[in-house]
Amino acid sequence: MPVGTLASVKGVPQDLLEDLGVQILLGNTYHLYLRPGLETVRGMGGLHGFMSWDRAILTDSGGFQVFSLNELRKVNEEGVTFRSHLDGSSHLFSPESAMEAQIGLGADIIMAFDECTEFPAERARVRGSMELTLRWAKRSKNHFEEHKHRVPWEKPSSAQHSAVSSQLASSAEAAGSSDDESSRIADGGVRATQGLELRSPGRPGAAVPTRTGTLPAAGATQSLFGIVQGGMDLELRRESAERTVEIGFPGYAIGGLSVGEPRDVTREIVESTLQYLPADQPRYLMGVGTPEEIAAYAALGVDMMDCVLPTRAARHGLLFTSVGKISIKQARYANDAGALDPACGCRVCTRYSRAYLRHLYASNEVLAQVLNTVHNLSFYLDTMRRVRHSIRLGEGTGFLSGVSSQPKP
């Protein structure tokens, strides 16, 4: 899932995202809550209407941004008090208010409010944090069940959106019934968005573009996913997973990773935790990773991932290619007439030279960000297409030796 923090994948218009084959975007509740604010988004029919995006959207709970952007946050049983990074104003996120916010934003998949445990942390601290997240998970579910009918999909200015969750669940289940073990892996994500390939052709003078896709069943609502915490402790992760599954959600995320721990620890936690999460429901690894990592985690059984890496790296001129990572700012590319990635069919690689991309970056041209982001997203989406293809063919992910983000020798 590409990250569209403020209802925009930085620099890339929505129709280009559609052309790239983006099936689902991630929005950040914390940022959208501060700007433009919930009432604005709700009034436009939720994020789908506000940003004119018919395909699937997932919002995080806000917990991770509060954790990473606010030094002065205060956590208690009720929730987290924090100050806006924009104007210093004071706010409270609780399980209930995070659900309110996410119902108002109207994404297809929303996340339980959790505490992201810092790294490193003492075992007692990790256990306490995990227990808090479990209590918040119950409160999140309770509040969601009571208020989920308030999702603004019924607004006349916005079409109703498919209930992605039920598709995710049923497709994962269908895949799970296959004889071939590998066909289950990461396939939920593929099928989840079938039927979501809607377009917004729009019409001149339309208030908000008219959507023409299939409508969800009447009364369709969002899907609330639970989040597993437990720090870097395999036993606490197991307990967190089992007790979160006991509460019961249509999908589960592994949170609290990519917070500074070594990568082999991340992998160990993921591999261990996955076995305690139902294989017939979507399993979502938050905040990961490099191209090699997303392929490797898909091979382990992860169905969904999000990461700012492709878009953030693009803004710093770091480009992922079939021959390794390229820093386009380097002078060696100043007169390089070759395509950025000769093996890539994206609109950047088929049209522009490395010399031109280097010039745009070196000259601080905004087009550098646009083109670099389009290419990196294309590379990531191609990687996931190859993962899915291998799974369908029952080939595992042996092709992955060809995926590399190491610099060229």
- Residue with tokens 């070759």, as numbered in its chain: 338
| Contact residue for a copy of itself among 277, 313, 344, 377 (CB under 8 A) | 344
381 forms part of the interface with a copy of itself (CB under 8 A): no
User: For residue 164, what are its two tokens?
Assistant: 């992605």
364 burial via Cβ count (<10 Å: 0-12, 13-18, 19+): exposed
208 forms part of the interface with a copy of itself (CB under 8 A): yes
Active-site pick, 54, 60, 108, 114: 60
335 forms part of the interface with a copy of itself (CB under 8 A): yes
| Contact residue for a copy of itself among 133, 171, 200, 273 (CB under 8 A) | 200
User: For residue 328, what are its two tokens?
Assistant: 């386009």
User: For residue 55, what are its two tokens?
Assistant: 């395909």
205 forms part of the interface with a copy of itself (CB under 8 A): yes
11 forms part of the interface with a copy of itself (CB under 8 A): yes
Residue type, 19: D
338 forms part of the interface with a copy of itself (CB under 8 A): yes
User: For residue 407, what are its two tokens?
Assistant: 């610099």
Between CA 81 and CA 75 the distance in angstroms is 7
> With respect to a copy of itself, which residue has the nearer C-beta, 245 or 323?
323
* Closest distance of CB 305 from a copy of itself, Å: 23
Between CA 164 and CA 385 the distance in angstroms is 19
Looking at 363-405, list the stretches that DSSP marks H as alpha helix, in order from N- to C-terminal side. Answer: 366-392
Active-site pick, 114, 303, 306, 382: 306
Binding mask 295-324 for a copy of itself (x = CB under 8 A): ------------------------------
Over 208-238, what HEC string results? CCCCCCCCCCCCCCCEEEEEECCCCCHHHHH
| Contact residue for a copy of itself among 313, 371, 377, 381 (CB under 8 A) | 371
Identify whether the C-beta of residue 390 lies closer than 8 Å to the C-beta of residue 184.
Answer: no
Q: Looking at the DSSP assignment, which residues form a beta bridge with residue 75?
A: 80
* Closest distance of CB 141 from a copy of itself, Å: 31
| Contact residue for a copy of itself among 72, 88, 124, 204 (CB under 8 A) | 204
- Residue with tokens 């803004």, as numbered in its chain: 315
Is 306 among the residues known to form the active site?
A: yes
Q: Which of residues 242-281 bind a copy of itself (CB under 8 A)?
A: none
* Closest distance of CB 4 from a copy of itself, Å: 10
The string of DSSP codes covering 168-222 is HHHHHHHHHTSS-GGGGTTTHHHHHTTT--------TT-SSPPP-SPPPPTT---
* Relative orientation angle of helices 354-362 and 366-392, to the nearest 10 degrees: 130
Q: How many residues bind a copy of itself (CB under 8 A)?
A: 59
User: For residue 76, what are its two tokens?
Assistant: 């208690």
Binding mask 103-142 for a copy of itself (x = CB under 8 A): ----------------------------------------
Is 60 among the residues known to form the active site?
A: yes
Binding mask 24-43 for a copy of itself (x = CB under 8 A): -----------xx--xx--x
Site residues (vs a copy of itself, CB under 8 A): 6-15, 35-36, 39-40, 43-44, 50-52, 157, 200-209, 334-335, 337-339, 342-345, 347, 349-353, 355-356, 358-360, 362-363, 365-367, 369-371, 374
Instruction: Give the residue numbers marked as catalytic.
Output: 60, 306
